[in-house]
C-alpha cells in the first residue's frame, strides 16, 4: 500500500515536468502600462506549422482601431510584449526561445527582440547580439531561456521609454522604445 501511494505521488509530481517546458498561456490581449492602449488578437492562421497572427491596436478611451499589426516569425504567446505610452510602438522579446530541430548557428541567428512603429518593424536583434554563449542559458529539450533566472519579472521591463533586459550572462541592455537602438550595455 505504501508503495502504491509513493507511485501515485511520484506520478503526480512528475506531471509538472511534462508541462514545465511549455511557454506561458496563450496571450489574446495586451494592455499598455498607462492603461490607454490595448493590443487585441483578431485571428491566427496556420500555414504549414508557420503561424501568422493578426492583431489590432485600440485606443481604450475611444475604442478606435489605431492600426493593425501582423506577427509572422513567432507567436506572441511566448513573448514579453510592451506597448509605448502613446500606443505607437510595440516591443516583442522572445525570452523562451524554441530551438527544436536547429543547429547552434540557427539558434544564435534567431530574432529575439523586435521593435515596431505603427505596426511596421523598425529594428530587430538576434540572440547572438544580446547573448554570447547559448550554453549559459537555461536549456531544456526544446527551449532556451536567456533572460533573468526563474522567470524573474524584473528581467525584462519597460521604464522611461526604454526596454531593459537583464540576461543570465549578467548583462543589462537598454533599448530606446521609439527606434529600437541600443542605448546602453553594462555588466551587472
pLDDT tens digits for range 81-129: 999 999 999 999 988 888 777 888 888 898 999 999 999 999 999 999 9
| pLDDT(152) > 50 | yes
Longest dimension (CA), the chain: 64
pLDDT tens digits for range 48-88: 767 788 999 999 999 999 999 888 755 555 688 999 999 99
pLDDT for 40? 92
Tell me which DSSP letter residue 167 carries.
B
pLDDT band at 7 (very low <50, low <70, confident <90, very high): very low
Taking the model in full, what pTM does it have?
A: 0.82
What ranges do the domains of the chain cover?
24-187
CA distances from 88 to 12, 67, 94, 115, 174 (A): 46, 9, 20, 11, 19
The answer to whether 96 touches 78, Cβ cutoff 8 Å, is yes
Helices (H), 58-179: 104-108, 127-130
| pLDDT(144) > 90 | no
CA distances from 22 to 1, 144, 170 (A): 34, 11, 25
Beta strands in 15-110 (DSSP E): 29-31, 37-47, 50-59, 64-71, 80-83, 89-93, 96-98
Q: What secondary structure does DSSP assign to 140-158, as a single string?
A: -SSEEE-BSGGG-GGGEEE
| pLDDT(18) > 80 | no
Residue among 21, 19, 14 at smallest CA distance from 141: 21
Amino acid at each position: 500500500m505504501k508503495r502504491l501511494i509513493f507511485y501515485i505521488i511520484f506520478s503526480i509530481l512528475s506531471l509538472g515536468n511534462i508541462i514545465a517546458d511549455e511557454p506561458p498561456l496563450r496571450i489574446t490581449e495586451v494592455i499598455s502600462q498607462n492603461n490607454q492602449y490595448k493590443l487585441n488578437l483578431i485571428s491566427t492562421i496556420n500555414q504549414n506549422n508557420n503561424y501568422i497572427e493578426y492583431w489590432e491596436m485600440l485606443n481604450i478611451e475611444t475604442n478606435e482601431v489605431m492600426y493593425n499589426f501582423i506577427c509572422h516569425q513567432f507567436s506572441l504567446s511566448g513573448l514579453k510584449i510592451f506597448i509605448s505610452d502613446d500606443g505607437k510602438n510595440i516591443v516583442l522579446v522572445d525570452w523562451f526561445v524554441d530551438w527544436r530541430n536547429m543547429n547552434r548557428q540557427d539558434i544564435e541567428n534567431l530574432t529575439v527582440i523586435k521593435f515596431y512603429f505603427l505596426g511596421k518593424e523598425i529594428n530587430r536583434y538576434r540572440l547572438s547580439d544580446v547573448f554570447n554563449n547559448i550554453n549559459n542559458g537555461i536549456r531544456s529539450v526544446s527551449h532556451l531561456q536567456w533572460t533573468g533566472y526563474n522567470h524573474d519579472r524584473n528581467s525584462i521591463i519597460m521604464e522611461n521609454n526604454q526596454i531593459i533586459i537583464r540576461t543570465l550572462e549578467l548583462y543589462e541592455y537598454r533599448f530606446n522604445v521609439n527606434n529600437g537602438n541600443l542605448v546602453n550595455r553594462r555588466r551587472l
